[in-house]
Amino acid sequence: MQHIGTGNIALIDSAQMRTRNRDVDYPFRQDSGFYYLTGFNEPDALAVFIPGREQGEYVLFCREFDEQKALWEGAHAGLEGATAHYGADEAFPIDELDEILPGLMENTGKVFYPMGENAELDHSLQGWIKQVRTKARAGVTAPGELVALELILHEMRLVKSPAELKLMRRAAEVSAAGHVKAMQAAKAGLYEYQIEAELIYHFAQNGLRSVAYPSIVASGKNACVLHYTENHSPLKNGDLLLIDAGAECDHYAADITRTFPVSGHFSAPQKQLYQLVLDAQFAAIEQIKPGASWINAHDAAVAVLTQGLVALGLLKGRVKKLIEKEKYKPFYMHRTGHWLGMDVHDVGNYKINQEWRELEAGMVLTVEPGLYIPADCKSVDEKWRGIGIRIEDDVLVTETGYEVLTHGVPKTVVEIEALMQGN
Ligand code: GLY
Ligand code: MN
Ligand code: MN
């Protein structure tokens, strides 16, 4: 309300149910921004915020309670529930949106809304504003400015509250334990999807029924495909297995990657590349503290990786020049992390006035350096080819530095080999 300012109005719509196939819907997932502001987990809803409105500043449009619907489809709040349990000052049926909303927009100045995210809402908004304009001769003024709600909302979502961190810790903890189970289960002869099943089983057993994104379970050279999700190859001794998977806890994501040997033992070249990625990850994490630039972690990872690639003979030349010319890119083509929150690639700007922004306490980001040596890469010795490694943790910026939320799953060579061998 403070950010919107008196005299203005903000609105945001819920996610919609989507058909998967005949008579079957996709599982409903609320829009993150809508859930952040309302905690309301139903489709067919629209929240309106009108600072200073006497009859109530927070208006929620939603489905009316319907006994038949309750019988077939389960609980829904209805108008009474919206005010009694969700803090709305007033609730109206979503079916009456077109009649009621233009009235709420009368004599307001700016309309904040999720700009350009939903063609239907963009279109409806034009109609509502037109409707308000028809009352001009009665002395009613229509809003004169449309503003992207994201400008306010995304900055709010970027810094996590203690209540949000509690959910993120839970997502991180359950996801980390799932990775441990996956490591323990992995052995030659199983298929990648069977390891995926271990993860999902553990998440669901702990009440987290959704993954935050499709799990990547990639053995051998599949790990060099960044978004591999087929998960259908057999695990082989001698291969590494890369798992990138995270559960969602009440709309908050974890995002963890571990890479380990199917046999329980790293080969010599695997161990050398793995240690290099791990060193890069430690160096990147060490950069995280309030006031540090967002890009420091990435720069630190790139420096360690490039230096290591030269030492191991995969790159030739002077480290400084190689970094300048981005010669590491054939082996490390993504950034070292992203914001994490309700969305796995969470909202929030990375730059302010074209400068990389500074970290603040309460922000959560991933740190995920990797190396991917294409199987057909002729420029490097054969022993490196087809190796893909990523190590990813979720890191909270604290008042004094950082806290790794996903520490529950091992990542050093010694720890991983010990876990895999049941020690
Ligand atoms: N799992 C998606 C990512 O790591 O960014
Ligand atoms: Mn990530
Ligand atoms: Mn990931």
pLDDT in tens, the chain (423 residues): 999 999 999 999 999 999 999 999 999 999 999 999 999 999 999 999 999 999 999 999 999 999 998 888 888 999 999 999 999 999 999 999 999 999 999 999 999 999 989 999 999 999 999 999 999 999 999 999 999 999 999 999 999 999 999 999 999 999 999 999 999 999 999 999 999 999 999 999 999 999 999 999 999 999 999 999 999 999 999 999 999 999 999 999 999 999 999 999 999 999 999 999 999 999 999 999 999 999 999 999 999 999 999 999 999 999 999 999 999 999 999 999 999 999 999 999 999 999 999 999 999 999 999 999 999 999 999 999 999 999 999 999 999 999 999 999 999 999 999 999 886
Q: What angle do CA 17, 18, 20 make, to 5 degrees?
A: 135
Residue 14 identity: S
For a ligand 1 pocket test, name from 335, 392, 393 the mutation site with the most ligand atoms within 8 angstroms of its C-beta.
392
- From the list 18, 345, 360, 381, the catalytic residue is 345
Annotated catalytic residue 346: no
- Provide the pLDDT for residue 170: 98
CATH architecture of 9-156: 3-Layer(aba) Sandwich (3.40)
Distance 345 CA to ligand 2 centre (A): 7
Annotated catalytic residue 244: yes
E-strand ranges in 340-401 read: 351-352, 355-356, 364-367, 370-372, 388-390, 393-397
Atom of ligand 1 nearest to the CA of 368: 4
Q: How many CB atoms lie within 10 A of CB 242?
A: 29
- The protein residue whose alpha carbon is closest to atom 5 in ligand 1 is 345
- From the list 173, 244, 393, 417, the catalytic residue is 244
Which ligand is located closest to the Cα atom of residue 243? 3
Q: What are the boundaries of each domain within the chain?
A: 9-156, 159-420
CATH entry, 159-420, from 3.30.43.10, 3.40.50.150, 3.90.230.10, 3.40.50.2300: 3.90.230.10
Sequence-distant (6+) residues with CB within 8 A of 414 are none
Binding pocket residue ranges, ligand 1, CB within 6 Å: 213, 244, 255, 338, 344, 368, 392
- Provide the pLDDT for residue 326: 98
- Provide the pLDDT for residue 395: 99
Output the six-digit token pair for 355. Answer: 């400068």
CA-CA distances (angstroms) from residue 31 to 17, 85, 153, 169?
Answer: 11, 19, 13, 21
- Provide the pLDDT for residue 69: 87
Q: DSSP per residue over 77-99, as a string?
A: -HHHHHHHHH--SEEEEGGGHHH
For a ligand 1 pocket test, name from 281, 333, 338 the mutation site with the most ligand atoms within 8 angstroms of its C-beta.
338
Closest C-alpha among 383, 386, 361, 362 to residue 373: 386
Closest C-alpha among 14, 112, 24 to residue 63: 14
Residue 3 identity: H
Sequence-distant (6+) residues with CB within 8 A of 203 are 174, 175, 178, 209, 211, 247
Atom of ligand 1 nearest to the CA of 390: 4
Q: What is the DSSP letter of 207?
A: T
- Provide the pLDDT for residue 421: 87
For a ligand 1 pocket test, name from 211, 344, 350, 367 the mutation site with the most ligand atoms within 8 angstroms of its C-beta.
344
